[in-house]
Amino acid sequence: MAYVESFRDLEVYKLSRELSSSVYEITKRFPNEEKFSLTDQIRRSSRSVGAQIAEAWAKRRYQKHFISKLTDADGEQQETQHWIEVAQDCGYLDTTESNDLINEYKILGKMIGTMINKASKFCR
């Protein structure tokens, strides 16, 4: 594993930011009546993934804390998948767009899972 100086260097973090931006752009199309419900929920969960990864990085001195924060990140990405499906059910996303985004989040989840399973390589 190449030396990583910051959480910003992690591919998993970069992907979380990219997906968060995608969610933001997609939710701009949601109707105004969803502004304080679905739009807010999906944006919050998608943004939280990267925040949890950053926090995990800061806590990597303690492997259990590192894993706990990564588990939170995984929970947030799964929550985002749920909201994507809800948006599709409401007709705000078509099947292809929804499936593509969910597949990207599944990749993100696998990356987080790998970090959890190899926590000792990341922790001091």
Predicted confidence at residue 124, as pLDDT, reads: 74
Tell me how far apart the terminal alpha carbons of the chain are, to the nearest angstrom. 14
Domains: count for the chain: 1
Residue 1 has pLDDT above 60, yes or no: no
Q: Which of 66, 62, 52 is nearest to 13 (CA)?
A: 52
The 3-state DSSP class for residue 29 equals coil
| 1, part of any domain | no
Residue 101 has pLDDT above 80, yes or no: yes
Scanning the structure block, which residue is given the tokens 């995608």? 22
Q: Which domain does 105 fall in, by range?
A: 8-122
% of the chain with per-residue pLDDT over 90: 94
| 62, part of any domain | yes
User: Tens digits of per-residue pLDDT, 34-70?
Assistant: 988 999 999 999 999 999 999 999 999 999 999 999 9
- Residue 10 — left, alpha, or beta (φ > 0 → left; ψ -120 to 50 → alpha)? beta
Predicted confidence at residue 102, as pLDDT, reads: 98
| 63, part of any domain | yes
| 73, part of any domain | yes
| 3, part of any domain | no
> What is the full DSSP assignment across 60-88?
TTSHHHHHHHHHHHHHHHHHHHHHHHHHH
Residue 111 has pLDDT above 80, yes or no: yes
Strand (E) positions, 4-119?
A: none
CATH code: domain of residue 74: 1.20.1440.60
User: Tens digits of per-residue pLDDT, 2-13?
Assistant: 678 899 999 999
Cβ atoms of residues 101 and 87 within 8 Å = no
Output the average pLDDT for the chain: 96
